[in-house]
Structure 1
Amino acid sequence: MRHLLSYSVYQDLSLFGDDPGATLGGMGCDGLELLTSYGPPDMAYADLTETVHLPYAPDWLAAWQDRPADMSEEDSLYFMYGRGREDVVTNVTRAIDAASVLRPAHGVFHACNADIEEIFHRRYTRSDDEVVRELCDLMNTVVGGMHGGEPPFRILFENLWWPGLRLLDGRGFDILRDRLEFDDWGICIDTGHMLACLPTVSETDGIDRLLDVFSGYSDDLIGRITGVHFHWSATYAYRTTFEERDFEPPASRFIADANSHVMNIDRHLPFTSVRCRELLDALRPDYVIHEMPGSEAGILEDFRKQRSLLP
């Protein structure tokens, strides 16, 4: 397994000192998974980047179904991939093309949707199946326009807690397998996102619950798991007590509030129990991506802490 650190094009490399490669190597880190954007990345990242995380627009279905929320053009790009179906295809294509110059082994794509009206809700109108089917239609359209009908690098579909690919069982995976029209795709399991679907309050309980989920996976699903976003998040208390609210304009302020809400659900903390290695033993990924922005200790210290628990 290759161990990577999650980073982004919005962060410069000064965190890693004068020799970033040596700093990462000294931590037991093989490189970066880089969150990219819609334009060409700074090639200073190229030698350090092994995989990429493509940009995510939470309510892309609003634009895909030609019912966009009223917001600025810039907010529309980052929240919906644009203002209509054509925009969505154009901007997802732009994101893939922009990341391809880094020659990544794979690119991660969030496979869910959060209706803007329901971000601060606990129950959602859309079914997981509907969102995954629509996602397949989107990706078939995007990739169908690429050379040979395949993406320039493998696309990994990642689970979240919003409607879509939650991967608490194999149903969403089965839809991907049956409906995607290209071959170079796989799965990225995000442990923290999955924990946000489960009533867990302790690390031991959380690991046990994740292992219970993984034990139900088919060999076909396990075989498609290329990457794991590895982090710990116990937010059941917040998820069951936050004040529900509907969308209120202006969109820019609501989105800022939503970002804070998401951070309260998705904490991105390091595991502290050596039992976390059982999760990787069950999934057997090629890449373990340590997503570590959640602690005041800082991402390097959190990476070292979590990495020390693993072979």
Structure 2
Amino acid sequence: MLELVNVSSADCDVRNLPGGTPRGAEELVRRYALDGIEFMVCDAKDIGLFPQRLVRGMHLWFYPSWMHFWRGNRELLARDYTAEQIRRIFGDSREEWLARFRENFRMAGACGAEYAVFHVAHAGQSEIFSRRFFYDDRAVVAGTIEVVRELISALPETCALLYENLWWPGLTFRDPALAARLIEETPHARTGFMLDTGHLMNTNWDLRTEEEGVRYVLETIEGLARYDAALAARIYGLHLHQSLSGAYAQTVRAAVVRGEMPERPTPEESIDYVLRIDQHRPLHTPRAREIVDRVRPRWLVHEFIPKNRADWEEKITAQQAAIHGR
């Protein structure tokens, strides 16, 4: 098992590295006896920001409202973005968007990544508060397969494609048949899953403690194994963290019912909401080791959203203590 930490080329991440420069990634990896990083490239010019020997995986881009664009639903897309934003984010055609996204797949090969992570989800900005989604899990999985088939040739055969779960419509791991379909219909031999433990916890609003969260993750894995043991064995990677935001999600849902939430939130309101839902906090309970032992991942990523350098290092230290008994 390779133990990694997530790092992007965004200025906020680079500033939080030791020394506040890209060179600090090597110090971070050395200090915590890690094997490298899972890299998210914000721009093609950032490919060489970190030494290739550090880059074990790459997190591909994610477009929250992509299904509206892919299906040509301009009316729904216009609820989320202005015409100028649509051109900037997606381009003027499917072909232009695919060309941009295909380049992101190529970046994984250029960085020497062993795997690439692809979010299987859709969430329009006008849908997230109400949770009244236009597309269900089946539609998002079907759309994902269509898009990936257009892009997969840009990914080296040696690089694994790992589908990641979210709590929005798409891959949630609540329906094993949909997870199996992703594997079966993706024309890439090295296809598997990146199980995000915090995202999975976000699908259950009743969770209140870390122990409850760990138990829920283990129960979900066993559900996949009962459906098909080979399917559960396709969990090649773990994004390890915890998110116990159910009480907050319930509060927002009640506010929506009372008509107190905006029908069309601003990007800032959307980001604030998502970050409150998707907490990316470290697991402290020693039971976190049960997830690692059950999955036996090839890649384990300590995935956090650090406030600052000290916060980042405290989270890595806490979670390593939980899984290693330090």
TM-score after normalising by structure 1: 0.89
Pairing partner for 1:207 from 203, 207, 214: 214
Which region of structure 1 is more displaced relative to structure 2, 45-54 or 270-279?
45-54
* Contact persistence 2:41–2:47 (CA under 8 A): no
Aligned 8 A contact 1:269 1:295 in 2: no
Q: Aligned-pair distance for 1:258?
A: 0.5
Equivalent position of 2:241 in the other structure: 231
Partner residue, 2:279: 267
1:298 aligns with 2:301: no
Following TM superposition, by how much is the alpha carbon of 1:247 offset from its aligned partner in structure 2, in angstroms? 4.4
Which secondary structure does the structure 2 equivalent of 1:45 belong to?
A: coil
Consecutive unaligned residues of structure 2, counting only runs of 5 or more, are none
Alignment of 1:132-143 (within 5 A): 132-143=141-152
The amino acid of 1:76's aligned partner reads: I
Closer, same or farther: CA 237–41 of 1 in aligned 2, 3 Å: same
Give the letter aligned to residue 16 of structure 1: P
The equivalent of 2:102 in structure 1 is 93
Q: 2:59 corresponds to which residue?
A: 53
Q: TM-score, normalised by structure 2?
A: 0.85
May I ask how many residue pairs the two structures share in their alignment? 303
Aligned to 2:18: 16
Contact 1:63 1:88 in 2 (8 A): no
Partner of 1:32: 37
Do the aligned partners of 2:165 and 2:173 also contact (CA within 8 Å) in 1? yes
Matched, 1:43 2:45: no
Tell me the secondary structure at the aligned position of residue 121 of structure 1. coil
Please state how far the C-alpha of 1:215 moved relative to its aligned partner: 1.2
Aligned to 1:277: 289
Aligned to 1:216: 223
Please report how far the alpha carbon of residue 76 of structure 1 lies from its aligned counterpart in structure 2 after TM superposition.
Answer: 3.2
Please give the secondary structure, in 1, of the residue aligned with 2:38: strand
Q: Which runs of 5+ in 1 are unaligned?
A: none
Q: CA deviation at 1:98?
A: 2.5
1:288 partner SS? strand
Distance 1:9 1:75, change over 3 A: farther
Specify the code of the residue in structure 1 equivalent to 2:14. Answer: D
**Structure 2 match to 1:187:** 193
Measured after TM superposition, the shift of residue 262 of structure 1 is 0.3
Aligned in 2, Cα 1:30/1:202: closer, same or farther, shift over 3 Å?
same
C-alpha separation in 2, matches of 1:246 and 1:119: 10
In 1, distance between residues paired with 2:87 and 2:321?
A: 39
Asked whether the 8 Å contact 1:109–1:156 carries over to 2, the reply is: yes
Letter in 2 for 1:266: D
- My pick for the range that moved more, 211-220 or 52-61, is 211-220
1:173 is aligned to 2:179: yes
Measured in 2, the distance between the counterparts of 1:15 and 1:181 equals: 37
The offset of 1:89, in angstroms, is 1.3
Partners of 1:307 and 1:267 lie apart in 2 by 18
Cα distance in 1 for partners of 2:292, 2:143 equals 30
